[in-house]
Structure 1
Amino acid sequence: MAGTNTAGSAPTLMPTRRDLFGLLGSVSITGLIPGVAYAATASPTYRDPRAPVDLRVRDLMARMTLEEKVGQTISLWATKADVMMPGGLDFDPARATAAYPAGFGQVTRPSDKRGGPSVAVTAGGTGAAWRGTASTIAFVNAVQRWARGTRLGIPVIFHEESLHGYMAPDATMFPQAIGMAGSFDRDLMRRGQAIIGREVRAHGSHLSLSPVVDIARDPRWGRIEETFGEDPYLCGEMGVAAVEGLQGDSTTLAPGKVFATLKHMTGHGQPQAGNNIGPAPIGERELRESFFPPFRSVVTRTGIGAVMPSYNEIDGVPSHANHWLLGKVLRGEWGFSGAIVSDYGAIEELDTIHDVARDLNGAAKLALAAGVDSALPDGLAYRTLPAQVRAGTVPIAQVDAACARMLALKFHAGLFEESSVDPRAAARLTGNAEARGVALEAARKSMCLLTNDGTLPLAPKGKIAVIGPNAAIARLGGYSAPPRQAVSLLDGVRALVGGAATIVHAQGVFITQSEDRSQDAVLLADPAKNRALIAEAVEVARGAGTIILAIGDTEQTSREGFSANHLGDRTTLDLIGEQNALFDALHALGKPIVIAAINGRPPSWPGVIAKANAVLECWYPGQEGGTAMAEALFGRINPGAKLPVTVVREVGQVPFYYNRKPSTQRGYLFAETAPLFPFGHGLSYTRFEVSAPRLSAAKIGIAGSVGVEVDVANIGQRAGDEVVQLYVRDQVSSVARPVMELKGFERVTLAPGERRTLRFTLGPDAFALWDVDMREVVEPGLFTIMAGPSSAQLKSAILEIA
C-alpha cells in the first residue's frame, strides 16, 4: 500500500494485482488495439486467440440470445441427470440438447456421480460415489465435444473442490487447511497448491473452489478446520500463497494451472452461537479491521479468478444479496473484476432461509443485482431470469455483466482453444511420487508440539502401546477423498520402529457409530461397548513402557453443518464420547502417556492436557500423516509448527482471540482468564532465543516505512525450526485498537549454535486504522513493535510516527 498524503489522511490503495479480466464492469466494445493483426473477419473475432479478451467477449455476446447468456450463469450438479444416459453415467448429447437448447455454462464436480442412478443429492463424503479418472475425463471430453458443436461453440467450465487436495479418488491429500496454516510456511503452501491445481487441471477442470480465508473466531463452528485460523495477516499470507500455487503468475492459465475461488466473503467464521450460516454480529469497522483484510490482500496482490460470498447475513443483509459488500467494496474499492460465484444453494436460501425473497424469482433478482455472476451448484434460481428480463423486472444489463465475466473466465482459461483431456497423462500426474513427497513435507511441517515434560522424543525400544480411536485410521478431514495411499499413525510407528521395539495396539473406544461424513445423522458409539474396549486397552497397555494415545475428532464430529438435518457444530469443545474415560483408565496405570491429537477443532481438552506427559497437535495431517507423526514422536524430525488459533480452556471463554480489544478478557469468577494455549504457541526439542526487535529508525513519517531486524539463535542441542513472529500495537488511537496484531513472520531452520538475523519491513498498512469517519488513516503517535516465538513471549521496541 502506498503512503498517505497528510497526517491522519487515508492511505492511497495501490493495487498490484494482475488484472486478468479487463474492464468488464461495462459491456461496451472498446475497439481494436492498434498494431495487432487479427484473423480475417470471416472468422468471428471471439474465436481469434490473438484478440484481446475484452473484445472477444463483446463479439461473442453480440451474437448470443438471452437464453444463451443466462445459460452461462448456471451449472449442473444433481441436474447432470438431465444430460446423462438414462440409468447410466455417460453423457448423452441428444438429451443435453433437448434439456438445454441454449447450452449451460458450468458443471459442478465432474468427478462425482451426482445425478446418476441411486446417487443421493447430499454432501460429498465417503458416500458421494465418485467416478474414477477414466470416467471423469470421458464425461468432461464428451461434454466439451457437445458444447463445441452447439450454435456458438461455447465451451463449458468445470469446477472441483480442492480445499486441501483435489476431492477425487487417488488424488493427493495434504494436511487440512488449519494444519497448513500452522506451518507458517508460504512456500510450502504455494508448492502444495500447485500440485493440487495440476491434478485438478489434469482431469479437465479449470476452476477450484479454494482457498478459504475466513477469520475463524468460534471453535464451536464445525468448519474451523477449513480455515487458516484467527489472524487476518496469516490468513492473507496463506491465501495469497495458495492462489499463486493454483493459478501461477500468468495473465492466462498456463498448463497445469486452475483459477482459484476466494471464499467465503465474509463473517462466516464468527457465526452467532457458533452455528454454520448463522448471522455474523459484526459492524463495519470490525469487518474492515479483521474480516476484510485477507480478502483484500488476495484480491489486490493476485489475479484471483473468482470470489464466493458467504452463506451468512451481516447486519440483516445476506452476503449473496449484499451490493455494498460485493459491489462497493470488492469491485469498487479493491478493483476486483473476476467472477463472483455463489456458494451451493445460497441464492435459493435468500428465499428458503433468510426470508428476504418471496420465491426463486425474487432470490435470483436480489443476487444478480448484488453482483453474483454464477449460481452454483445447479442454478435453480437463475433459470427464472429469461422470463424476468422479458417481464421487465430484471435489467438485461445485469445479465450481460454476469455473462461477460463468466465468458472472460473461459477465455482466460484457454477453453476456446483447448483440446481434449488425456486420461493417461492424468493418471501419471495424480498422486505420484513427487506429490507424495510434498504431502509428507507438509505433514512434517504441520506438527505442533503443545506440551512436553521431556518424555518426547521417544526411544524405539521395549514395548510401546499405540491406542485410541484415531490410531489405526488415516483421518483426512472434510473435503477429502480416498487418496492412492494413506498412512495411519499405527502404520507410521510400525514402519519407523521396525524390529527395534514391540508395538501393541488397541482400539480403546469408537467415537461415532459410522465413519461416513456424508451421513446426515451422527450417533455416538455405544458407551457399553466402549467400556469393554477401554478394559481391553488397559490390559494391552499394562505391559508397555509407554503409551501413545491417538484421540480427537472424526469427520463426523467436526464438519460442515449445511442443514438442520446435517449438523456439524457443537456446544462443547472437550473430547467427545468416552475418550476422557479412556485416558483416565490408561493414566491410572502410571505409565508415560503421549497424546497424538488428530482433530479439526482446536484441542480444548484441559483435563487430558494437564495430565499427559506430552501433547503433539497433528490436526488432520493428510495422507502421509502417519509417517510424519511417527517421525515427530520418535525425534526423526523436530516439530516446528505453531498454533494458528487461540485454544480456549472451556466454551464459556468463546469468542477468545489474541488480537483482542483492551477492554476484553477481564476475567471470570472461579475460572482462569488465560487461554489453554496462546496464538502462535509451539514447542521444540531444542531451545531458541529471539532478540528484541531493532528498528532502522526511531521515528518515521506517516507515509514512511521502518526496517525491523530480529536475531534468532538455536541454543539447544538439536537442529530445529523456529517461527519468528512480529506484532504491532498502536499505544493511543482515536478508536479502540487491538492489544497486538501480527504483521510479519518467518520460519527458519537452524543447526545447533546457529544464529540468523531476520529482516522485516513495516509500511503504512501495518499501522493504519479505520477512524470514526470510517476512513483508513495512519495516526501520529507511539507504536510498540514486538517480536518473539509466540504472541505470549515477546520483546519490544518503540516507534514514533509523526
Structure 2
Amino acid sequence: MTVEEKVAQLGSVNANKLLNGDATHDREAMEEHLEHGVGHLTRLGGEGSLPPRKAAKRTNELQAFLRDETRLGIPAIPHEECLSGYMGPGGTTFPQMIGVASTWSPSLVEEITATIRRQLAAIGTKHALSPVLDVARDPRWGRVEETFGEDPYLIAAMACGYVNGLQGDGISATLKHFAGHGAGEGGKNRSSVNVGRRELWETHLFPFEAVIKTADAESVMNAYHDIDGIPCASDEWLLTDVLRGKWGFDGTVVSDYYSVEYLRSEHGVAVSEQAAGVMAVEAGLDVELPYTDCYGEHLVNAVEDGDVAEATVDTAVRRVLRAKVKKGLLDDPTVDVDAAADPFKTENARTLTIRAARESMTLLKNEGDVLPFDGGTLDAVAIVGPKADNAQELMGDYAYPAHYPTEEVNLDATTPLDAIQARGEKAGFDVRYEQGCTTTGSSTDNFDSAVEAAEAADVAIAFVGARSAVDFTDLDEKQADLPSVPTSGEGCDVVDLGLPGVQQELVERVHKTGTPLAVVVVSGKPHSLEWIAEEAPALLYAWLPGEHGGEGIAEVMFGEHNPGGRLPVSLPRSVGQLPVYYNRKPNTANEEHVYMGSEPLYPFGHGLSYTDFEYGDLSLSTNALAPAGRMSAEVVIRNAGNRDGHEVVQLYASAEAPSQARPVQELIGFERVSLDTGESKRVTFEIDASQLAFHDRDMNLAVEEGPYELRVGRSASDIVSTAAFDVTATKEVPAAGRTYFTTTRVEIVE
C-alpha cells in the first residue's frame, strides 16, 4: 500500500459529500473522496435521509465503486447512529436509554438491540456508534438522557446487554464517550473534566473495562473534553496505555465527530490541522469521523516530513483492515436491496417498543392509590399539558425525528392522548384535552380552558416535561420566548432543573380544582419536582418512551400493567442541592446546606408498584471471606399484594472501616424478579471478593482486609435487611483475575 492508500483507510466521508440533492451519487465527488479508498462511510442512510431500500442501494453502489474502481478494491465500513434505534428514516424508535435503564433489565436491552441490529444489517451498515457509557451525576448536563444513569455497575450491566444484542450478527458496537464525559464542569457538554485518578478508574473507566472484558466490544469512541488538561483525543495514556495495554482491547478507536479538529479549534493544543492529526494518531486514535479534516493529506505530509512514523500509521491501518475482514466486507460488501425494508415496521418491533415503554414506567408516588384508574367507573378524563399529544416529544435526541426536527417524518406513533382516547372509546368515558401551555413559552392564556376541563372531569392527568433535541439554535434564539426550545439532549445543558416554561404553574392551577390529579413526566432529564411530589397525589416518570410510549403510559395508568421501573438516577430537590447521587462519600452525603438537607427528593433505585413485596432476612454462605474467595447471599421475597408484578431486588456493599474515604455504599448486584400474587422466590447472589476491590494508596487494585456489610433493599435508601462479614486478608487483584458482575439465581419457593 502507498502512504496515500494507508492514510485513506483512517479517514471517512459523509453522505453530504457524496450524494446530490436528489440522493443520487455525485460521480465527481466519488472520484475525489474515494480515489485511494476510505475507512468509513458516515451515515449514508441517516444523514442522507434515505429510506431503507434506497439506503441499501446507495451503499451497494459506493461499495462497488470502492471494490471495482480503486487500485486495492477495499470496501468501506458504513456506520450509523442507533442509540434508541436506527437514527434514519423508517428506523424503530425505542425508549431513550435513561428510560431503558429504568427497567433494570439487561436482557430487555439485548432484545432491543437485536432488533436494531437486523435493521442496520439490512441497509449494509457494519458499525454502530452506540452505546453511551458515561456516568451521569450532574442532571444539568443535557445528555443524561442518553446514559444508563448514575451508577457504574448498572451502566456496565445494561451496556453489556446492549453490546451482546448488537454484535450478534456482524454489527460492531462503539462504547462512548471515552472517558468521563458525564463529569464536565458546570454540567456543560464538552467542558473540562477534573477528577482524581482513583475516581476516574473506579467510576468512569469501570463500565468501559467491564464491557470490553466481558462483552468483547469491538470499537471505542474518544470523548471531546480534556481530563486535567489533556484532551482525550490526544491522550496516549488513555487510548493506548490503558485501553490497549492494561485491558488488551484490540478493536478500533474512532473519533467523536470533529474531535480531532477540535484539538486545534477548541482546545488550542495544536497549531494546525496537521499537528492535530499527528497528535491523535500517535495517541492511538485510528479513524477520524465524520469526514477527513486532519488525517488524509495532512498525515501523508506528516509522514513525508518525518513528523509521524509510518509505522504508527501502519498500526492503525492494520486495526481498520482487521475490522473489515471480521465484518466480511472483503468477501462481499453488498446487501439484498429488495429485502432491505423487511426488518422495518414489523409487528414484532412494534410490540417490543410497547413492552420496553411499559417496563420503563417508574411510579414515584401514589398517595391514596389514585392509580390505577378504573375506566369502567369514569365519565370523563381531563388531559392537559404540552407532552400529551406530540409524537416527537416522546423521543430522545438521537431519534431521527428529534435529531432532524425540520425533516418530514411519517411517524407510526402512539401519543398518550391517542392511547387514552382509545380506552375511552372502549370503556365509555369522555376524554377532554386542553394543552394549557407549551414546553418553554411563558403564555398562560390557555390555562383557563385546561382548568375548566379538569373541573368537569372525574380525574385529571398532566403531561409535562422537557423537549429533547440536538440543539442547533444560537444563544439569542435560546433566550427568546419560544414555545418549544430543547432543554434536554446534546448541547442542551441547563442551570435550572425545574419544569421549563410555565408548566408547573399549569399543574398548580389544575391541582387547585380538587380533581384527583396524576402528573406524568415525559422527559429525558431528572427534574426537581418538590412541589409536585408534595402536593400531587400521583407522580409517574415516563422518561422519553419512544414511538409507542403513549401505549406504555396508558397501560400503567389504567392498571393493565403493574409498574416495575426503578430510578437509575437520583432526583434532586433543587439544582443547588447537587450532587445527590447515592454513592457519595460520607462527608458529602452527610453535610447539608443551610436551607436544605442532602437527601434527594427520590433516591436511586426508587419505584413503586400496585402490589406489596415482603422481604425475608438476608443470609450469607460465610461471614469470613478470603480475599480471592467467593460467597453467596440470598433473600426470599414474596408478593403479598393482590396484583402480579415485578420487583427489582438491589444488593449494595459497604466497607465499614476502610483505610481511605469510600462511598457510603455501592451497588454490586440486582435482579428484576417477576412474582405472581402470593408467590415467593429466593434470589441468590454469587459474589466474588474482587468485586469489593478498590485502588490503594499506590493505585494498585486490591481487596482490603476488614469488616463489610451487604445490604438488600428496594432502593439505595430503602434497605430491608443487612448482613455483616469480614474479609480475612488484603490481597492485590491480578490483571486477569477480576470479576465484574454478580451472578444471580432465582428459584420459586414452594
TM-score (norm 2): 0.91
Equivalent position to 1:711, from 636, 639, 646: 636
Q: Give, in whole Å, the separation in 2 of the partners of 1:243 and 1:782.
A: 36
Q: Give, in whole Å, the separation in 1 of the partners of 2:32 and 2:112.
A: 42
Q: Give, in whole Å, the separation in 1 of the partners of 2:34 and 2:512.
A: 67
Q: Give, in whole Å, the separation in 1 of the partners of 2:540 and 2:30.
A: 53
Paired residue for 2:230?
A: 317
1:145 maps to amino acid:
A
Equivalent position to 2:320, from 393, 406, 411: 406
Paired residue for 1:169?
A: 89
Q: CA deviation at 1:423?
A: 3.0
Q: Give, in whole Å, the separation in 2 of the partners of 1:691 and 1:677.
A: 24
**Contact 2:177–2:223 (CA under 8 A) maintained in structure 1:** yes
Equivalent position to 1:800, from 702, 726, 741: 726
Paired residue for 1:506?
A: 434
Q: Give, in whole Å, the separation in 2 of the partners of 1:112 and 1:563.
A: 24
**Contact 1:93–1:146 (CA under 8 A) maintained in structure 2:** no
Paired residue for 1:720?
A: 645
Paired residue for 1:199?
A: 119
Q: CA deviation at 1:359?
A: 1.4
Q: Give, in whole Å, the separation in 1 of the partners of 2:283 and 2:705.
A: 38
**Structure 1 residues 237, 99: CA separation in 2 closer, same or farther (over 3 Å shift)?**
closer
Equivalent position to 2:517, from 590, 593, 615: 593
Q: Give, in whole Å, the separation in 1 of the partners of 2:150 and 2:352.
A: 25
Paired residue for 1:466?
A: 383
**Structure 1 residues 405, 551: CA separation in 2 closer, same or farther (over 3 Å shift)?**
same
Q: Give, in whole Å, the separation in 2 of the partners of 1:498 and 1:154.
A: 58
What's the CA shift string for 1:558-581, capped at 9, x where partnerless?
Answer: x56899799410000001101011
Instruction: Map residues 137-286 of structure 1 onto 2, 5 A cutoff.
Output: 137-149=56-68, 150-248=70-168, 254=169, 257-286=170-199
**Contact 2:577–2:593 (CA under 8 A) maintained in structure 1:** no
What's the CA shift string for 1:172-204, capped at 9, x where partnerless?
Answer: 111100000110011101010110111111111
What's the CA shift string for 1:416-454, capped at 9, x where partnerless?
Answer: 112522233221111211111111111111000000011
Paired residue for 1:337?
A: 250
**Structure 1 residues 302, 591: CA separation in 2 closer, same or farther (over 3 Å shift)?**
same
Say whether residues 1:131 and 2:50 are aligned partners: yes
Q: CA deviation at 1:537?
A: 1.2
Q: Give, in whole Å, the separation in 2 of the partners of 1:554 and 1:67.
A: 45
Paired residue for 2:342?
A: 428
Q: Give, in whole Å, the separation in 1 of the partners of 2:26 and 2:381.
A: 57
Equivalent position to 1:301, from 177, 197, 214: 214
Paired residue for 1:96?
A: 30
Equivalent position to 2:11, from 74, 89, 94: 74
Q: Give, in whole Å, the separation in 1 of the partners of 2:275 and 2:536.
A: 56
Paired residue for 1:630?
A: 554
2:463 aligns to what SS in structure 1?
Answer: strand
Higher helix fraction (1 or 2): 2
Q: Give, in whole Å, the separation in 2 of the partners of 1:314 and 1:448.
A: 35
1:212 maps to amino acid:
V
Paired residue for 1:365?
A: 278
The count of corresponding residues between Structure 1 and Structure 2 is 697
1:800 maps to amino acid:
D
| Structure 1 residues without counterparts, runs of 5 or longer | 1-63, 115-129, 249-253, 512-523
1:349 aligns to what SS in structure 2?
Answer: helix
**Structure 1 residues 100, 147: CA separation in 2 closer, same or farther (over 3 Å shift)?**
closer
Q: CA deviation at 1:99?
A: 4.1
Q: CA deviation at 1:499?
A: 3.9
2:723 maps to amino acid:
A
Q: Give, in whole Å, the separation in 2 of the partners of 1:109 and 1:628.
A: 31
Q: Give, in whole Å, the separation in 2 of the partners of 1:235 and 1:563.
A: 33
1:135 maps to amino acid:
K
The Cα RMSD (Å) is: 1.6
Q: CA deviation at 1:541?
A: 2.0
Paired residue for 1:683?
A: 608
What's the CA shift string for 1:464-514, capped at 9, x where partnerless?
Answer: 011110001122111002475111000111123324211110111112xxx
1:158 aligns to what SS in structure 2?
Answer: strand
Say whether residues 1:660 and 2:587 are aligned partners: no
**Contact 2:627–2:690 (CA under 8 A) maintained in structure 1:** no
2:58 aligns to what SS in structure 1?
Answer: helix
Paired residue for 1:781?
A: 706
Query: Which has the bigger relative contact order, CA under 8 A and spacing at least 6?
Result: 1
**Structure 1 residues 290, 591: CA separation in 2 closer, same or farther (over 3 Å shift)?**
same
**Structure 1 residues 151, 638: CA separation in 2 closer, same or farther (over 3 Å shift)?**
same
1:581 aligns to what SS in structure 2?
Answer: helix
Q: CA deviation at 1:617?
A: 0.6
1:319 maps to amino acid:
C
Q: Give, in whole Å, the separation in 2 of the partners of 1:449 and 1:692.
A: 26
Equivalent position to 1:292, from 161, 185, 205: 205
Q: Give, in whole Å, the separation in 1 of the partners of 2:354 and 2:337.
A: 26
2:30 maps to amino acid:
A
What's the CA shift string for 1:737-761, capped at 9, x where partnerless?
Answer: 1110000000011111111001111
1:260 aligns to what SS in structure 2?
Answer: strand
Structure 1 segments of 4 or more deviating over 6 A? 560-566
Q: Give, in whole Å, the separation in 2 of the partners of 1:547 and 1:560.
A: 32
Equivalent position to 1:744, from 642, 660, 669: 669
Q: Give, in whole Å, the separation in 1 of the partners of 2:94 and 2:191.
A: 29
Paired residue for 2:287?
A: 374
Say whether residues 1:651 and 2:570 are aligned partners: no
**Contact 2:34–2:66 (CA under 8 A) maintained in structure 1:** no
**Percent of aligned pairs sharing the same letter:** 40
Paired residue for 1:770?
A: 695
Say whether residues 1:702 and 2:627 are aligned partners: yes
Q: CA deviation at 1:611?
A: 1.1
Q: CA deviation at 1:97?
A: 2.1
Question: Which region of structure 1 is more displaced relative to structure 2, 185-194 or 103-112?
Answer: 103-112
What's the CA shift string for 1:603-652, capped at 9, x where partnerless?
Answer: 31111221111011100001121111001001110000100001110011
Paired residue for 1:606?
A: 530
Q: CA deviation at 1:531?
A: 1.4
Question: Which region of structure 1 is more displaced relative to structure 2, 386-395 or 654-663?
Answer: 654-663
| Structure 2 residues without counterparts, runs of 5 or longer | 402-409, 479-490, 729-750
What's the CA shift string for 1:251-308, capped at 9, x where partnerless?
Answer: xxx3xx4110000111111110011011112110001111111100011012211000
Question: Which region of structure 1 is more displaced relative to structure 2, 539-548 or 419-428?
Answer: 419-428
TM-score (norm 1): 0.85
Paired residue for 2:330?
A: 416
Q: CA deviation at 1:692?
A: 3.0
Q: CA deviation at 1:800?
A: 0.8
Q: Give, in whole Å, the separation in 1 of the partners of 2:43 and 2:33.
A: 19
